[in-house]
């Protein structure tokens, strides 16, 4: 487990001033253990993650059996921040039947012809399940804010250019949407994997230099990197406007992958445990039926 006061520092507090520059992408969970050396630190981080994963698997089993709540995990980040790796590692111990991952790319013509939340609604997790959004409706106030030409016909009639009011309306709609989901039993946890520009450069170079990583590199990633500051502004505004008690944002340090994974696993496990999901009660009637079934099986030749 990571200390709860540390997790609390990563949570964006509703109504409070929020500045991304107050969050260090290079933060290491184990600063107080620095003298152990890099290998020992990684060992320790791995041990924490293993415990977290076992706890998460147990919590998910109960969530599934309980069947009252759904969990929606939203992952947002710049390229190469480690969304895919986080999903792979954090969910590695979880029963695949209880978990679904949806990745959102550029919307299709059909999707663009609807309201901006439409395609995400269809992918929401049902009760008992964990749904992971690898990118989400937040793209509609992030990449779309950086490149407003992507809006196309989604711009309200008469409006030529989306202004402050337009984006504030979208934040408001997102908050209302999430409140609706929360009231209907969906627990929403949102993670911004906070990568530094320097570490992104290092990871891009690694993708270019190592043949087995070449496939991960895309020229458009480099183009988006040139809009880094505009993205950071868009993230800052979006997180400040949409972090609520029922759907909080966590700014997760992403320059060290083990930190990212440990934090996400910890927050998800703690949230599910907080629901106190239970295995369905066995009534006296049920017990009688179970005893009869046992007797019937025992009596078989």
- Dig out the tokens for 184 from the structure: 């209907």
List 41, 64, 139, 266, residue binding ligand ATP (CB under 6 A)? 139
Nearer to ligand ATP by Cβ, of 79 and 266: the residue is: 79
List 135, 145, 203, 261, residue binding ligand ATP (CB under 6 A)? 135
x-marked contacts with ligand ATP along 48-87 as a string, rule CB under 6 A: -------------------------------x----x---
CB atoms within 10 A of CB 49: 22
Minimum Å distance from CB 214 to ligand ATP? 13
Nearer to ligand ATP by Cβ, of 226 and 283: the residue is: 226
| Cα atoms in the 13 Å half-sphere on the side-chain side of 270 | 13
Minimum Å distance from CB 83 to Mg ion? 9
Distance CA(193)–CA(262), nearest Å, equals 12
- Dig out the tokens for 168 from the structure: 């504030």
Contact 46, 262 (CB under 8 A): no
Q: Is 144 in the site for ligand ATP (CB under 6 A)?
A: yes
Distance CA(265)–CA(250), nearest Å, equals 12
Tell me the β-bridge partners of 131.
72, 100
C-alpha distances (whole Å) from 77 to each of 138, 152, 228 are: 10, 24, 12
170: left (phi over 0), alpha (psi -120 to 50) or beta: alpha
Task: Select from 23-31, 49-57, 100-108, 181-189 the region that touches ligand ATP (CB under 6 A).
Answer: 100-108
Nearer to ligand ATP by Cβ, of 48 and 78: the residue is: 78
Backbone angles phi, psi at 14, to 5 degrees: -60, 135
> Looking only at residues 52 through 81 of this chain, which bind Mg ion when binding is defined by CB under 5 A?
79
Nearer to ligand ATP by Cβ, of 119 and 129: the residue is: 119
Which residues of the chain form contacts with Mg ion (CB under 5 A)?
79
Interaction site with ligand ATP (CB under 6 A): 79, 84, 104-107, 135, 139-140, 143-144, 150, 218
């Amino acid at each position: 487990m990571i200390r709860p006061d540390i997790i609390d520092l990563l949570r964006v507090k509703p109504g409070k001033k929020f500045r991304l520059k107050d969050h260090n992408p290079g933060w290491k969970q184990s600063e107080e253990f620095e003298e152990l050396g890099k290998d020992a630190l990684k060992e320790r981080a791995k041990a924490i993650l293993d415990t977290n994963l076992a706890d998460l698997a147990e919590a998910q089993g109960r969530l599934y059996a309980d069947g009252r709540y759904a969990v929606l995990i939203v992952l947002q980040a710049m390229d190469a921040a480690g969304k895919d790796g986080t999903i792979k590692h954090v969910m590695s111990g979880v029963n695949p039947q209880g978990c679904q991952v949806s990745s959102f790319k550029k919307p299709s013509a059909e999707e663009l012809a609807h309201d901006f939340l439409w395609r995400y609604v269809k992918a929401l997790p049902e009760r008992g399940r964990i749904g992971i959004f690898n990118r989400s409706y937040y793209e509609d106030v992030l990449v779309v804010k950086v490149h407003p030409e992507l809006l196309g016909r989604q711009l309200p009639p008469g409006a030529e250019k989306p202004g402050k009011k337009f984006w504030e309306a979208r934040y408001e709609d997102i908050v209302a949407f999430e409140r609706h989901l929360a009231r209907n039993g969906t627990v929403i946890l949102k993670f911004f994997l906070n990568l530094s520009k320097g570490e992104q450069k290092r990871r891009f170079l690694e993708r270019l230099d190592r043949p087995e990583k070449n496939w991960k590199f895309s020229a458009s990633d480099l183009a988006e990197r040139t809009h880094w500051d505009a993205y950071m502004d868009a993230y800052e505004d979006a997180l400040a406007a949409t972090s609520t008690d029922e759907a909080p944002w966590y700014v997760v340090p992403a320059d060290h992958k083990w930190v990212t994974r440990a934090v996400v696993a910890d927050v998800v496990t703690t949230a599910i445990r907080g629901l106190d999901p239970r295995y369905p009660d066995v009534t006296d009637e049920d017990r009688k039926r179970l005893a009869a079934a046992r007797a019937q099986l025992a009596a078989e030749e």
